[in-house]
Amino acid sequence: MANSSNNSNYKAVPEAADALNKFKYEVANEVGVSLKDGYNGNISARDAGRIGGNMVKKLIQQAESQLR
Alpha helix positions (H), the chain:
17-30, 45-67
**Rounded-to-integer distance, Cα 32 and Cα 26, Å:** 10
pTM, two decimal places? 0.77
pLDDT at residue number 36? 92
Distances (CA, A) of 63 to 10, 19, 45, 53, 58: 21, 16, 27, 15, 9
User: Cα separation of 22 and 15, whole Å?
Assistant: 13
Measured CA to CA in angstroms, residue 29 lies from 47, 49, 53, 58, 63 at distances of: 11, 14, 14, 14, 22
The confidence score (pLDDT) of residue 22 equals 95
pLDDT of the chain, 68 residues: tens digit per residue: 455 556 677 778 889 989 999 999 999 999 999 999 989 999 999 999 999 999 999 999 999 999 98
